[in-house]
Amino acid sequence: MLSILDLRARIEAGTLTPSGAIDLCRAAIAAREPELRTLVTLDDNPTIPESGPLAGIAVGVKDIIDSAGLPTQMGSALYAGWRPRGDASVVARLKGLGAVALAKTTTTAFASSDPTETVNPHDPGHTPGGSSAGSAAAVGAGLLPLALGTQTAGSVIRPASYCGCAAVKPSFRLIPTVGVKTYSWALDTVGLFAAGVADVAHALALVTGRPEIERAEAGSAPRIGLVRQDFAEAPEPEAEAALARARQAAERSGAQVTDVTLPPELALAWERHRIIQNYEGRLALAWEYESHRDALPPRVREHLDAGAAIAAAEYDDARRHAHRARRVLKGLFAEYDAILTFSAPGPAPATLASTGDPRFNQLWTLMGVPCVNVPVPGERLPVGVQVIGRFGDDGRALAVARMIEDALRG
C-alpha cells in the first residue's frame, strides 16, 4: 500500500516530487485497475500543487461526492455524465491542502447495497464490500494513498476490513457532508481510507484543521471495553480470531481490556437503525424514487419501498431510542477510553453478488461516535477490528487504534 506519511516524508526529503508521487499512483493504476475496476473516472491531466501539507497525495473520491473537475454519477444511470458546479466541502479542503483529486471511485447506487463491478484486491472472487467499494479496494490494492468514503450503516469500516486497509469513520459531522449525495441526514458520515492508522490520523487532522487529533496519545494503560455485540448474529471464526489477537496485542501494550455487555438501550437502538436509514432515504431520494423508481437497481428500490411504508411516528420513536442510547453510551465512556469490537462478520464473502453485512457497524454510525478499522495481519484474506471512541474524541480512538496496530505488527 502507499502510505501518506511515507510519501510525504520522501517529498519533504526531496527524494520524490509531488508529480512523481502522482506517477506512482498512475503506474499502480495502470497495472491493476483493469482487473480491480475500482475507478469510475480518472483525471488524466490534473493540476498538481507543488506545495501544501498534502502535496503529492492522490485522492480517490467516492462517486457520490461532488467534484468540480470530474463527473459525479452516484453509481446510477440517472446521473450519467452529471457534473456539479463545484467541489464538495471535503474535496475543496483537500485541494486546498495540496492534494490531487485524481479519480472518482466506484459506489453502489446512491451508496446503498447493489454491488459495483469492483472486486476485492486480495481475491477477485470476493466482494470488496460496499458502499465505498472503489475507495477501499483502491487503497487496499496500493493504487491510491488516500480515498474518501461515506458510511450510513457500515460503508467505510466494513470495506476497509475486507480490503485490508485502515479507515476512520469520524464523529458525526466532523467532516462536513456538504456536497455529498444524502441517503440519511442523521447517519451519513464522510470517512477516510489510507494504508495505516497513522496515515488516516494525519489526513483527518489536516482535513479538519484539528492538529490535536494526530497528537492524541493512548496513555500508558488505556481502559478498553471489549464488546461482542451479542444482539447481532454471531461472527465467523476469522473475525473471532482477529478480535482475540487484537485483544492480546492491546494487553501486551499495557491496556486493561475488560469484557463489556452493552446495556439494553444500545440493542434497542441497533434494531432501529434501519428504520431511520430507510425512512430518511425515502425522503432524501424523493425525486429519484417518485420520478424514476423503475430505473433504480433492485436493492436500493427495495430499501426505499420499505422506507415508504414507515410511519412518521415509528421514525420518531426510533430517533428517541437513538437519543437514549447515546446518553447511555456517553456514561459507558466514563469507564472506558475505547471500545474494541468486530469490524465485520468475517473476511470478505466469496461472492460479487453481495457487499456483505453491516450488522457490527450500524449501531456506531447511529451513535455518531468515531470508529477506526485496524487491519489484523496474517490471514490470506484481510480481517480488521474496530476501535471506537467517545463522541468528539476522534484523537483518542485513533491513538488506541495505532497502539493496537503497532502491537499487532511487532
> Interface with a second copy by CB under 8 A: which residues?
68, 78-79, 82, 85-89, 91-93, 95-96, 173, 176-179, 182, 185-186, 208-210, 280, 283-284, 286-288, 290-291, 312, 316, 392
Shortest separation between residue 113's beta carbon and a second copy, angstroms: 20
Residue with cell 463545484: 86
Q: Which is nearer to a second copy, 15 or 47 (CB)?
A: 47
Output the smallest distance, CB 308 to a second copy, in A: 10
DSSP state of 288: H
By beta-carbon proximity to a second copy, the closer residue of 20 and 46 is 46
Shortest reach from residue 324's CB to a second copy, in Å: 15
Query: Three cell numbers at 86?
Result: 463545484
Q: How far is the CB of 341 from a second copy (least distance, A)?
A: 27
Q: Closest CB to a second copy among 54 and 143?
A: 54
- Residue 361's SS3 state is coil
Query: Closest distance between a second copy and the C-beta of residue 357, in Å?
Result: 27
Q: Is the Cβ of residue 178 or residue 221 nearer to a second copy in the bound state?
A: 178
Q: Which is nearer to a second copy, 98 or 121 (CB)?
A: 98
Complex with a second copy: residue 216 or 407, whichever CB lies closer: 216
Provide the minimum distance between the beta carbon of 39 and a second copy in the complex, in angstroms, as a whole number: 22
Written as one letter, the residue type at 64 is: I
Q: In terms of CB distance, is 195 or 284 closer to a second copy?
A: 284
Strand order in the sheet with 189-194: 39-42, 100-105, 58-62, 146-151, 189-194, 166-169, 371-376, 383-388, 338-342, 223-227, 256-260
Q: 139 vs 203, which CB is nearer to a second copy?
A: 203
Sign of CA dihedral 243, 244, 247, 252: negative
Chain centroid to CA 87: how far? Answer: 20
- Residues 6 or more apart whose CB falls under 8 angstroms from that of 236 comprise 345, 346, 347
Our CB check for a second copy shows the closer of 67 and 386 to be 67
Residue 99 CA to residue 92 CA, distance in Å, equals 10
Report DSSP state, residue 114.
S
CB of 94 to a second copy, least distance (A): 10
Cβ-contact 240, 379 below 8 angstroms? no
Q: Across the chain, how many H-helices and E-strands are there?
A: 14, 11
Are the C-beta atoms of residues 370 and 167 closer than 8 Å to each other?
Answer: no
CB of 95 to a second copy, least distance (A): 8
Q: Which three cell numbers stand for residue 108?
A: 453502489
Q: Find the shortest distance in angstroms from Cβ 304 to a second copy.
A: 12
**How many Cβ atoms are within 10 Å of 244's Cβ, its own excluded?**
13
Contact (Cβ atoms closer than 8 angstroms) between residue 260 and residue 336: yes
E strand or H helix at 367, and its extent?
helix 362-367
